[in-house]
Structures are given as C-alpha cells and as structure tokens.
Structure 1
Amino acid sequence: MRRLALTAFASLGLLAASCSEGGAGDSSEWAPRDVVTLENPDWSRDAVLYQINTRQFTPEGTFKAAQEQLPRLKELGVDILWLMPIHPIGKENRKGSLGSPYSVQDYYAVNPEFGTEEDFRAFVDAAHEQGFKVILDLVANHTAWDNVLAKEHPDWYEKDWKGDFRPTPWWDWSDIIDLDWSQHGVREHVGGAMEYWVREFGVDGYRADVAGYVPVDFWNMMRQRLEAIKPVFMLGEVQQTAWHHAAFDATYAWDWHHTSKRIAKGDGNATSLYGYYAENESLWPRQAMRLTYIENHDSNAWEGTIYENYGPALEAMTALAFAGEGLAMIHNGQEACNAKRLEFFEKDPIDWSQGRDCQYGELLKQLIAFRTENPALHNGKWGARMHKVENSAPEQLFAWVRQQDGNKVLGLFNLTGRPVSAELKDGLPAGTYREFGSGEEVTIAAGDTIALPAWGWRLLASK
C-alpha cells in the first residue's frame, strides 16, 4: 500500500510538471471543438421541402406532366422538390403490378414509366429556371433482385444462413436484396451513381433512403465528393446526431412525428413534447435540420391519412411543424386535402379537384410565407431556438418564443381537445405583435390570460 501511495504521489508530481510546461494539462487541449464540418447551402436557409411521387402526382404519372405543375408549386411557396426514386423498378419478386420505386433495377437509368432521360433533364432544367432545387431519392441499402449487379457481382450482396441473397432482416421487404457495404465495389458503384446525376443532370442533392443502414463514413465521403461538383442538400432517413457532422443537412424527426400523432389521439398532452425539444436543443448539433413532417409517402400508405392520424388536431400540429424548430415539408396531395391512402405498388393518382375548396391548402401557403417573413423561424443554424413560456396550464398550453435580431415569434398552442384558459407566468412573451392570418396588432404582457378553444392556436410575430 505504501509503495502504491508513493507511486501515486510521484505521478501527481509528473502531471503537475507537465501542466506547468504546457504538456497534457495545456488549456488548449480542453478547448471546445466543433465536430460539424459541412456547410449548409445558403438556399436551404428558409426552404420547405415538397415530396413528389411521380407515379401518383399526375394522371399521366410522367416527368412531362409533373413539369406542368411547377408554376402551381411555385405559387404554393415550396423550394426543394424531392422526387421519389426515378430508376427502373425490378420485376423479380415485384410487389403488386407496378412494384415499389425503392426496388431499384439500375442506378444509372430512368424508369420508362416516367419518361426518358431527356424528359427528366427537361424537368430539372425547368425547375431550376423557376427557382426550385431538385433532390433525388437514393436507395443505397438494397437493390432489386434482378439488378444487374446481382448477376455480375454476387459477392457484393449480403447472404442468409444458406448462402443465398436476402432482403433486409426482419422487415417484409421481399422485393429487394441487401448490398454488402464492406465491399469496395458497392461503394464505388453507388457513389459513382450519386456523382453521375449531380454532374450530368444538375440535381441538387439527395434524400437517402434508410440512411442509417449504410455506414456513415460512406455518406461523409460522398458529401465531400458531391460538393466538389456543386453545393448540395442532403436529407437522411435516419435519426442520429453523427449523420449531421459531415454528411447530412437534415434527418428525420421520427420522435416528433409519432409524439404529435399520440397527442392528437389523446394519448399525450403538451408536456409530451418536452423530451423531444429538450433533446433537440441539448444533444443535436446547432446546424441540424430535423424533418418535422405531418405526412410522407410511408405514413400515408402504412399509417393513415392526415385526417386519420390527426383528426381535429391537424391544423394545430401543422402550424407547429412549420413554425417550431424543424425542417417543414409537404407530401404531394396535402395541399389538396387528399383524404385517401395512396396505393404504393399500383397506379393511384391524386384527386386534385378537391383542392379547389381545400382551406388546409391555403393554410399551408400562409405558413410558408410566415416562415419566410420571419428569420427567427428559418432552418438550422439560421433560425432561433424555442424557449418555453411558463404558464398555469402546462399540460394544455404549449407556449414558446423564438427570437433573433429583433424578430420575435410567440407560439400559443392548445394541444388538447378541451378549451384552455391559462396565465402567462413570465415576461418572455411580452411585446407587441401582428397576429398570423389577420395581421391585427396584439399586445401581450406578463400575467395575461390566454384563452384558446380545443386544438386552438395562435402565432404572433414582431419585427
């Protein structure tokens, strides 16, 4: 014991000496380091995504027909057009008569169902001319069974216990087989395809399908390689912080989506979101954009329509998705009050006729304009954090402020199916604002009482 004690004291002496000489104890060693190395493109500052399922977007289901809708989307106010996979779809083990767009037969070709390569090029060019950016859905985790790679490079695929090709484990994705990402050739082939569409067709980035099933070092490398061609935007279908350090501008906020649906169904209340926003502020990189979506192709097809999932809470949750911290998006058909689950493996065009009387579509348009007009609501590093407003009914009234450079937005949301009357407990929300929608001037003071009907909400902004 005595020898151990002497050794410990000697070690402390050496440590002290090294500190005094600027060694291991040098203060620079403890200086904070920003692990985020990517630069978000400036055009993503206040961008709203719009997802296009080319097959269902128009009665024709083609790039040419989709191109004709660009002026309407411009008027809506969206910025980045996300096209679901544009590639030929596998026929072997196909689901349904048309198959899943996520069963890719050839990464370097266009699905003839949608048109030709020149049709696609014309769509991208027209979108750029009208001020849009275009990102493609990239399916890197797996391919169709009859992708040429399966015959030419069977060693590039993972195998089951019998040594045969296999779909992604545990899921029912029987129409696809998993690539083996330990193989150099896989990385080169898929990475080369990513460069091809950016370099040859001018696409502006990717939405990466099941991005978390592909090694993050591949995404990190590809972000650098794509940036050498042009600035890109990357959205990853993953919910992990490490994917933001060098690869993705945005990732999925599954926790937000599922929590918002539980609240809408009465299985939670305003405090149910506290955990999400606490983690978002304390764990995630400041630059991270998190996709707070109301609907996408998966939720519509497999979970339910916006009306099934949100019911009378739909407008409140949509306003929160657009004005709270997060990257907002619209799934094609939302703006037309689409009330059906779109078939995933068949032709099932959106009925746009109902859009003429769709008040929800007008709300989306107004929310996009509101985001654009208020810098505090911008994306990622450009926007402001949400700060909780203390009130006397925290389980009902979800109240917050976002403020930056003189711009201040106050959000007041009753996240229950009962009316609420609550006193504001602090001075954070105090100020004079303009009311969202009416433009009416409103003054708020500490101690004021806020009354909202069931699922009622207000957004107030000052500059």
Structure 2
Amino acid sequence: MTTLRKSSKLCFIISCLFIYLFSNISAQKSEVIHPGWSKNATIYEVNLRQYTKEGTFKSFEKYLPGLKEMGVDIIWFMPIHPIGEVNRKGTLGSYYSVKDFKAVNPEFGTIEDFKQTVKKIHDLGMYVIIDWVANHTSWDNVWVETNPEFFSKDSLGKFYAPVPDWHDVIDLNYDNKELWKAMTDALKFWIEECDIDGYRCDVAAMVPTEFWNQARIELDKIKPVFMLAEAHEPYLHEKAFDMTFNWQLKDVMNEIGKGKKNVEALDARLKKEKEEYPAGAYRMNFTTNHDENSWNGTVFERLGEGAEAFMVLFSTIEGMPLIYSGQEAGLNKRLNFFEKDTIEWREHKFRNIIKKLFHLKKTNKALWNGTFGGELVRLKTNDDKNIFAFIREKENSKVFAVFNLSDQKINTEIKSNLIKG
C-alpha cells in the first residue's frame, strides 16, 4: 500500500498562510438560519464509554478545559440513552440501540450528572449536541409495550430490523403521525430539561424529511438549535439541517492517501460540492469518526503519514472540521464498538496542530463556515495532479495554503497573481 512519506508531508508553517485586506462578494444563502455561534465553530465527537476508565459524565468533565484550550466549540456526545438488552450486540451493546428516549444510560451516570456536564460545557463557552436515533429503537424500547403501533411490521405482524445486519434494533413506522408527535416531544425534552443546543441525527435520510422540517420548527421555538444530519443528501439542508457529513471528501482523501487517486479527484469532488449543495450549507469534514475508526481503520491505517496533511486540509477548506475522541492523542487502534476499550491518552503532536488550526479558523473570517467564510479558489501550479493550492478570502482576511499530496518531494511553482499583496 502506497502512503505519503515523511519527506512529503505538508510543512504546516504559519508563515505560509498570509492574511491581507480584501473585500468579499456576497453569495446566496441556504434557507436554514444557523445559530450565530456556529459561524466559525469546530466540532468534537465524544465516545464517552471509551473516553475514561470510568466512562462517565463526571470523569469526562476534567477533559473539558483541555478541549476548550484546543479550540473546540461543539461537543457532540454519541447516544447517551439506555441501551437495549434484547438481541444486544456484544456485552455492552450499541449506543444506537435506544431503550428509552427520555432516560440516561446508567453506565454514564444520571440525568442530573448530565445536566451538570452540560452546564460546565456552557460555562466554558462551548455548546452541546447529542446523538439522536429517530429511525429505529431497541427491541425492548418502552414504546414496544406502550405504543406498538409506532413500529413497522411484516406480513405476519412481527417487528423487523431496518437493515439485516442491524439485528439489535427494530424499524419505526413514520406513516403513523402519532409517532411524529412522540418523537418531537422527546427531542424537545432534552433541550427544555438539560439545555442542550441541538442534535446529531443518525441515518437522517432514512427518516421522512418532512418530519425533520417540522421538528426543527418546534425546536427553534425553544432556542436556536444546531442540527447535524448523519447523511450527505443536499435536500436535507433546505429547512431542517445546518450541516451534513462530507463522506465523499473522506473517501477521496482515503483514496489519495493509499495512492489510488491524485489531486484531480479532490478537484472533481470540490467542484461537485459547489454544484450539489446550496450556498450557506455547512459540510462536516473529517478523516475519522466512531464508524470510520471502528470499522474501516485508524487514520494511520488508511492515510499513513499523510494523516497530518489531510487533517490540515480538511480544517482549512470550506466546511466545519470534526475531531474524534483520541485523534488529538494520535489514536492508533480501532476502538471496540460493543465492549469497553479505553482510549490510550498520550502526548502527541496532533494536539498542538489541531490547536493551531482551530485558532486559525476562529481568527480568520476567510476560514469561517458557510457564507460566513470565504469561497475556496483553486490556484494553478506546475503539478496540479499532486499539488493542491488554494486561497480563501473574506473581508479583512486572506488565507493561502499549499499541499503536496503525493509520496514524492516536489518543487512547487504557483501560477497565480492572487497570492501577491
């Protein structure tokens, strides 16, 4: 497998990023009104079970000042609800097999513990979203007894899994409008009761879009919320969601890291982004998350020594950068999804790189999210198959970056007058 060698890794030097005075041409915006605090935000995914030896809200709290210092704005908790026991996968089960939408997994603590954690996050000037699984539940979810009509049934009247491999969960039936009311009520509960700031919505495209549109209206009546869809479909940005997953970019980076594709694939992907997504839509950029790490491998398995360069890349192009639990510590193992598998915390250069990148994003409008930031303008080089160079501009800032995404040393020439100033 071809990977990027040390000699070809991006030399990330602040002096290579130049800031100038420039004006910005306004662009058409998405229909969704983003919370004002999200305009230059970054996001961090918390795998609470694996974060500490205890795996609790209370034990996680000691890491909050460090996350704030690193430049994190949004704390995204994987599902915090009780996990089903019937047809459970592994010993501890999947976070995404929810037994009760209005309760806390006792593995993590109590709802009072969670409220305290949310308050501490808010006191540090950060925000909280929690994972929400609206498409399915565990086989022993409380609704199975109280509202069996909420679930899909086969020709024999039996519940079934939405996907064959998901044998620990059963499908919800959104033809039943009473389900819409109950699910919206549960979504409102966590905002009203615990003061969270929004949701990351699991397999959002498998749930009717109109449900999300209506739910967003109801949630925004309580407070301006931030909604992240675990999906890539552009139509989800129309009314319901602030941000979607940029899996397509992640896949392209994986292929380049393995030497199977080059920068031309990245150019093609970014071109399609402009064609497919409305102006103002946030896209979440990442090289790893809980799924990617557990099922497809660590960033080092997939990207080799290019992991550093791609982290800088996804943090500076258009979109909001995501960091997964342990990524800042150079996480180099696949975390077990259904068992206890504590992250090995250590000093690693990634933490300081992330801190610099997040500071750069916050202090330079050119790197802000959606139309709050500057449009990426590709710069011609003497080797556009291997060198990716761009400029982003917005009002008083201009950021210039160059990446060698090959496994060779290349003397680079930028063929543009845009970097002059």
Q: What's the TM-score, normalizing by structure 2? A: 0.91
**Equivalent residue, structure 2, for 1:366:** 356
Instruction: Report the CA distance between 1:38 and its aligned residue.
Output: 2.1
Instruction: Report the CA distance between 1:301 and its aligned residue.
Output: 0.4
Instruction: Report the CA distance between 1:152 and its aligned residue.
Output: 2.5
1:318 to 292, 308, 311: 311
**Equivalent residue, structure 2, for 1:305:** 298
Query: 8 Å contact 1:35–1:245 — kept in the other structure?
Result: no
**Equivalent residue, structure 1, for 2:247:** 254
Matches within 5 A, 1:172-251: 172-251=165-244
Matches within 5 A, 1:329-344: 329-344=322-337
1:380 to 351, 370, 386: 370
Instruction: Report the CA distance between 1:282 and its aligned residue.
Output: 2.5
Q: Kindly provide the CA deviation profile for residues 191-250 of structure 1, in whole angstroms up to 9, marking residues without a partner as x.
A: 111001001110000000000000111111111111100011110011111111111110
Q: Kindly provide the CA deviation profile for residues 286-309 of structure 1, in whole angstroms up to 9, marking residues without a partner as x.
A: 111111111100001000011111
Instruction: Report the CA distance between 1:132 and its aligned residue.
Output: 0.9
Matches within 5 A, 1:7-156: 36-156=30-150
* Equivalent AA in structure 2 for residue 182 of structure 1: D
Instruction: Report the CA distance between 1:37 and its aligned residue.
Output: 2.8
Q: Select the structure of larger CA radius of gyration.
A: 1
Q: Give the Cα–Cα distance (whole angstroms) in 1 for the partners of residues 119 and 344 of structure 2.
A: 27
Query: 8 Å contact 2:367–2:373 — kept in the other structure?
Result: yes
**Equivalent residue, structure 1, for 2:21:** none
**Equivalent residue, structure 1, for 2:15:** none
1:167 to 153, 157, 161: 161
Q: What's the TM-score, normalizing by structure 1? A: 0.83
Q: Kindly provide the CA deviation profile for residues 267-320 of structure 1, in whole angstroms up to 9, marking residues without a partner as x.
A: 100111112111222221111111111110000100001111111111110001
The RMSD of aligned alpha carbons is: 1.4
Matches within 5 A, 1:262-301: 262-301=255-294
The secondary structure found in structure 2 opposite 1:398 is: strand
Q: Give the Cα–Cα distance (whole angstroms) in 2 for the partners of residues 161 and 61 of structure 1.
A: 42
Using the aligned pairs only, state the percent identity: 42
Aligned residues: 395
Query: 8 Å contact 1:223–1:247 — kept in the other structure?
Result: yes
Q: Which runs of 5+ in 2 are unaligned?
A: 1-27
Q: Give the Cα–Cα distance (whole angstroms) in 2 for the partners of residues 234 and 430 of structure 1.
A: 39
The secondary structure found in structure 1 opposite 2:270 is: helix
Instruction: Report the CA distance between 1:35 and its aligned residue.
Output: 8.4
Runs of 4+ in 1 over 3 A off after TM superposition: 160-163
Q: Give the Cα–Cα distance (whole angstroms) in 2 for the partners of residues 161 and 336 of structure 1.
A: 50
Q: Kindly provide the CA deviation profile for residues 139-160 of structure 1, in whole angstroms up to 9, marking residues without a partner as x.
A: 0000000002122222221123
Structure with more contact order per residue of length (Cα contacts < 8 Å, sep ≥ 6): 2
Query: 8 Å contact 2:29–2:279 — kept in the other structure?
Result: no
Q: Give the Cα–Cα distance (whole angstroms) in 1 for the partners of residues 155 and 403 of structure 2.
A: 52
* Equivalent AA in structure 2 for residue 100 of structure 1: S
Q: Which runs of 5+ in 1 are unaligned?
A: 1-33, 432-463
* Equivalent AA in structure 1 for residue 263 of structure 2: A
Query: 8 Å contact 1:389–1:429 — kept in the other structure?
Result: no
* Equivalent AA in structure 2 for residue 319 of structure 1: V
* Equivalent AA in structure 1 for residue 142 of structure 2: V
Q: Give the Cα–Cα distance (whole angstroms) in 1 for the partners of residues 72 and 124 of structure 2.
A: 11
